[in-house]
Amino acid sequence: MAIEVVEVRTTNELKEFVELPFDLYRDSPYWVPPVKSGERNALLPQKNPAMRDCDTILWLARKDGKCVGRLAGIIHHKHNEKTGEKMVRFSRAEFVDNAEVVDGLFAKAEQWAKEQGANGIHGPLGFSNLDHQGMLVEGFDHIPSVVSEYHLPYYQEHMERMGYSKEMDWIEFRLSLAGFTLPEKAVRINDMVKRRYGLKVINFTSRKELHECGQRVFEILNSAFRDLFSVVELNQETSSYYLNKYIPLLNPKFVKMIKDGEGNIAGFIIALPSLSKALQKANGKIFPFGFYHIRKALKNPTGCDLLLTGVHPDWQGKGMVSLLFSELLQELIGSGVQHLETTGMLETNHKAIQNWKNFDHIQHKRKRCYRKNLA
> pLDDT tens digit string along 134-152?
999 999 999 999 999 999 9
Give 358's pLDDT tier (boundaries 50, 70, 90).
confident
Side-chain half-sphere exposure of 7, counting CA atoms within 13 A: 7
Displacement of CA 155 from its chain's centroid (Å): 19
Name the nearest CA neighbour of 90 among 128, 57, 123, 127.
123
- Beta strands 87-95; 66-76: pairing state: antiparallel
Sign of CA dihedral 145, 149, 152, 157: negative
d(CA 290, CA 278): 8
Cis peptide preceding 124, ω within 30 of 0: yes
Q: Is 354 helix (H, G, I), strand (E, B) or coil?
A: helix
Q: Residue 288, preceding bond cis, omega within 30 degrees? A: yes
Q: What is the pLDDT of residue 130?
A: 94
H helix or E strand, kind and range, residue 152: none
Mean pLDDT, range 209-221, rounded to an integer:
93
Q: Where are the beta strands (DSSP E) in the chain?
A: 4-7, 54-63, 66-76, 87-95, 120-123, 135-138, 165-176, 200-203, 255-259, 265-273, 303-311, 339-342, 345-346, 360-373
Residue 186 has a pLDDT of: 84
Q: Are 50 and 127 in contact (CB under 8 A)?
A: yes
Task: Round to whole Å and give the CA distance between 92 and 21.
Answer: 10
Question: What SS3 class is residue 127?
Answer: coil
Whether the pLDDT of residue 375 is over 80: the answer is no
Residue 212: exposed, middle, or buried by beta-carbon count in 10 A (0-12, 13-18, 19+)?
Answer: exposed
Distance between CA atoms of 133 and 128, rounded to whole angstroms?
9
Give the per-residue pLDDT at 107.
98
Whether residue 338 has pLDDT greater than 70:
yes
pLDDT at 129: 93
Q: What is the DSSP string of 198-253?
A: T-EEEE-S-HHHHHHHHHHHHHHHHHHHTTSTT-----HHHHHHHHHHHGGG--GG
Mean pLDDT of 308-333: 93
The torsion angles phi and psi of 311, rounded to 5 degrees, stand at: -130, 130
313: closest CA among 239, 240, 253, 228? 228
Region 87-95 average pLDDT: 98
Angle at 127 between CA 374 and CA 365, to 5 degrees: 85
Q: What is the pLDDT of residue 207?
A: 93
pLDDT at 1: 65
Return the higher-pLDDT residue of 1 and 363: 363
Rounded CA gap, 43 and 322, in Å? 37
Whether the Cβ atoms of residue 312 and residue 267 lie closer than 8 Å to each other: yes
**Distance in angstroms (rounded) separating the CA atoms of residues 227 and 77:** 16
Q: Is the pLDDT of residue 70 over 70?
A: yes
Contact of 369 with 132, CB cutoff 8 Å: no
* pLDDT class of 356 with cuts at 50, 70, 90: confident
Question: For residues 9 and 298, what is the distance between their CA atoms, to the nearest angstrom?
Answer: 37
Task: Quote the CA–CA distance of 348 and 140 in Å, as a whole number.
Answer: 22
b/e map of 172-183 (b: 16 or more CB within 10 Å)? bbbbebeebeee
